[in-house]
Amino acid sequence: MCPVKVHKWADIGDKEKEHMWAAVTDSFTNENMEAYKEHVLDHMKELWRKWRSDLLRYKIIHKKLTLKAAYNASPPDGLNKSEWQWLIKEIFSKREFKERSARNSNNRAQYLKELMPRTGSKPFRQVIWDDLGGNNGKKPSLVDVFYSTRKKGTQLPNAETTQKYEELRETMAKDPSLSQVEVVQQVFKSKSRDRVVGFGGGIKLNDVRGPQPSRVELQTKLNAANKHNEVLANRVEEVQAENNEMKERVSLVESRMKMFQDALVSQLNVTIPTSQAGSEMQE
C-alpha cells in the first residue's frame, strides 16, 4: 500500500497518501473520521520507517549478510526483486544512512536496558489510545506514559525504573510550569531533537511542545528586534545630546548671572551674600 522506491516519507505524493487514507476509511467507520486523518498518517509514517529499519535489521544484519550478498538474495515477503535491490542500493548502501544507523545504535546502547519499555511491538501511541484515555481525547502526562510502558503487571520491574519514575514525579511536582520536554531534559539529560524520551518513537517534540517557528520566522523576529534596538539607540543618543545642550545652556545662564551679580556689587559697593543674591535679583 505504501510506496517502496522513495528516499523518505516526504517524497510520497498526496495522491498516494490519499490512497492510503482511503484504505483506512474503507476498513473503519467513524462520524469524525476526518479528524483522525493527520494522526493516522503520522502513525503510518512511523510504521513505514520502522518497517524499512526492520528489513535491514532482520533480513541483513541478524542474518550476518553483506549488502552485496543480500542484494543477490531472494527478497523478503511483500517485496519483489526490483524493490529489494532498490532499497539496498539507494537506501542501505548510502553513507548518510550508514552514519545515521551507527549514531542511532550508539544512542540505544547508552540507554539503560533496565529503563527500556516493556510494550513489545505495541506502539506508544496505541498504549496512549487504549490504556490512557487517548480514544476519549485525553492527553496523559509523561509520568503516566512512563509508568504504563515500563510496568510489569501493576509494579515497576526494577530499582532503576522506579528511581526514574520518582524523579519524573518530583520534578513535575516541584515546578509544574515545566513543559514535558524540559522535564525529560532534566531527568534523562536527553539531547535528542527528534523524539521525547518516555514517549516512544511515535511521539515527536512538536507533539508535546507545539510547532516551533521556522528559521525564516525567527530571522524576521530578530531583524525586527534589531531594528527596534537601533531606533532605541538613536533615541538615547538624541536624549544625551539634548541633555548636553541643556547643561551648556544652564552653565551659560549661571555664568551670565555671576557676571551680572559682580557688576551690581561693584556699582553699589556692597557685599551681597551668595544665598541672598538670587532672591534679591528675583525681587
Q: What is the pLDDT along the chain (283 residues), one digit of tens a residue?
A: 788 999 999 999 999 999 999 988 888 887 888 888 888 888 888 889 888 988 998 999 999 999 999 999 999 998 999 999 999 999 999 999 889 888 877 777 766 677 778 887 777 778 888 888 888 888 888 888 888 888 888 898 889 889 989 999 999 999 988 887 788 778 877 555 555 555 555 455 565 555 567 777 788 888 888 888 888 988 898 998 888 889 888 888 888 888 888 777 777 765 555 555 445 444 4
Q: Which residues pair with 152 in a beta bridge?
A: 155
Total number of residues shown for the chain: 283
Cell triple for residue 107? 544512542
Q: Which residues pair with 155 in a beta bridge?
A: 152
Between CA 257 and CA 267 the distance in angstroms is: 15
Q: Compute CA distances 6 → 80, 86, 87, 91, 258, whole Å.
A: 15, 9, 9, 9, 90
Torsion angle, alpha carbons of 84, 89, 92, 98, to 10:
170
Between CA 130 and CA 138 the distance in angstroms is: 11
Between CA 79 and CA 4 the distance in angstroms is: 9
**For the segment 262-282, what is each residue's pLDDT rounded down to a tens digit?**
777 777 765 555 555 445 444
Burial class of residue 199 in the structure, from the number of CB atoms within 10 Å of its CB (0-12 exposed, 13-18 middle, 19+ buried): buried
**For the segment 87-106, what is each residue's pLDDT rounded down to a tens digit?**
999 999 999 988 988 887 77
